[in-house]
Amino acid sequence: MSNQHRLVREPYVVLHSETSGFKDVYGGAGERVVVECMRIFRAGTSARSVVIFSHPIGGGSFLPLVAALAHAGHHVIYCNTRYRGNDTALIMEKCVADLGACVAHARTKLGYERVILGGWSGGGSLSLFYQDQAEKTTLTETPAGDPYDLTKKDLPPADGIMLLAAHVSRAVTLTEWMDPSITDETRPFDRDPALNIYDPSCPDQPPYTQAFVAKFRAAQLDRNRRITAWVRETLEDFRRKGDHNMERAFTVHGTMANVCWTDPTQEPSDRRPYTCYLGEPRIANDGPVGLARFTTLRSWLSQWGFDTTNADGLGNAGRISCPVLVLNNTADLACTPSHAQRLFDAVSHDRKVYKDIKGADHYYIERPELLPEAVKVCSDWMEGESLAG
């Protein structure tokens, strides 16, 4: 590879401070928060615009699309929140603060005039949540009621958002994936066969009727709300005893049971049937890396509670004013087409564009030849919105 096509990767850290009654990440000094970032660009290029990617648990600086955008001449920054690689105790409001520190640094220290948020996968709802608060900051506490004043944070608004293979939100996604056959969290392996899509004795088999899907979805939502009720009761019990900073960690079993994985007629797309992005759904349902498998009381309310999270992608999208690109990968095993469409529909203004990348998987690993098409969509959109350069 010639030097002019070589990617430069510059790792750096951004520091900001906050006051908290307890620590929710391992290590660190006092009130100082360290945000690890990486700037990626083609050697010898300069730019007035930068695409900033962030994800609640980070780790995407080597994603194919991130690198492809940089190869195309765009300057890219990947911002890892403080929860890099571990969302057990993650608080979405603190992710907003971390992303804000990165955006402010990019503008004031690195000199970028325009910032575009790259909302890939779970970074989509984070980008929308960030922009919602950056345009009009309202939150002064977390969903658990802990003081966390975003109005005192530097949250420079972005100039545009790209939602790339993004889902609606962590809370909605988890709810749509929860196993509703678990009716008692203290006995997670005693499951109701009438709602267990992985049990051959389940009376409803694919292709599912609309009535079964409606019952299944309602039971998923009920389960999410039962956990939320228990979380709130537990926190209130601590507070009545004067233990205002006390926490509890807990396990949520059965979080990979979406009807679209066992019935290809649900959420029809170009994806491979009977599988999910973690492999065989039945195994992933109880595996160690499912969504929300390990969590805490406060984290549940902030990122997983259907009724409690502030990172509500659809609600956030309806309150932002910047231009938005929604890009859907039609063979995505993680983010199904309805999520892209719901996000697009939720944006309340007309400066929005929807595009499909036919046959593309979530990571562009199986079909890397489709990366140039995705990059062109992003580049053309940025050019059209006067965000490139």
| Pair (207, 149) in one structural domain | no
Do 147 and 8 share a domain, yes or no?
yes
Query: What is the pLDDT, as a whole number, of residue 3?
Result: 59
* pLDDT given for residue 129 in this prediction: 98
Domain shared by 157 and 265, yes or no:
no
Give the chain's residues under pLDDT 70. Answer: 1-4, 27-30
| Same domain as 127, residue 204 | no
Residue 188's φ and ψ, nearest 5 degrees, are -70, -15
Range of the domain at 257: 173-304
- Domain boundary, last residue among 286, 304, 322: 304
Using CA atoms, how far residue 239 sits from 233, 236, 247, in Å, is 10, 5, 11
Residue 271 lies in a domain: yes
* Residue 154: inside a domain: yes
Q: Can you spell out the DSSP letters for 207-262?
A: SPPHHHHHHHHHHHHHHHHHHHHHHHHHHHHHHHTT-TT---EEE-------HHHH
Domain annotation covers residue 28: yes
- Burial environment of residue 280 by CB neighbours within 10 A (0 to 12, 13 to 18, 19 or more): middle
Number of domains in the chain: 2
Examine residue 389 and state whether it is found in any structural domain, yes or no.
Answer: no
**Per-residue pLDDT, 63:** 95
Phi-psi region of 187 (alpha: psi -120 to 50; beta: other; left: phi over 0): beta
**CATH classification of the domain holding 356:** 3.40.50.1820
- The verdict on 250 and 212 lying in the same domain is yes
Q: From 269, 286, 304, give the residue that closes a domain.
A: 304
Helix (H) / strand (E) element for 375: namely: helix 371-384
pTM of the full structure:
0.96
Looking at residue 286, its pLDDT comes to 95
**DSSP letter string over 280-335?**
-HHHHTTSTTSTTSEEEHHHIIIII-TTT-S--HHHHHTT--S-EEEEEETT-SSS
Residues 270, 193 within the same domain: yes
Judgement on whether residues 154 and 33 belong to the same structural domain of the protein: yes
Overall residue count recorded for the chain in this entry: 389
Q: What single-letter DSSP state applies at residue 152? A: G
Q: Do 319 and 313 form a contact (C-beta atoms < 8 A)?
A: no
Examine the domain organization and report whether 260 and 282 are in the same domain: yes
Q: Is residue 273 part of a domain?
A: yes
In terms of DSSP bridges, do strands 32-42 and 75-80 run parallel, antiparallel, or are they unpaired? Answer: antiparallel
Residue 270: inside a domain: yes
| Whether residues 244 and 338 fall in one domain | no
So what's the pLDDT on residue 14? 97
- The predicted-structure confidence for 135-161, as pLDDT tens digits, reads as follows 999 999 999 999 999 999 999 999 999
Shared-domain flag, residues 128 and 80: yes
**Distance between CA atoms of 115 and 133, rounded to whole angstroms?**
16
Q: Rg of the Cα trace of the chain?
A: 21
| Same-domain status, 151 and 209 | no
Domain end point (choices 304, 324, 341): 304
Residues 116, 10, single domain; the answer is yes
Q: How many CB atoms lie within 10 A of CB 147?
A: 10
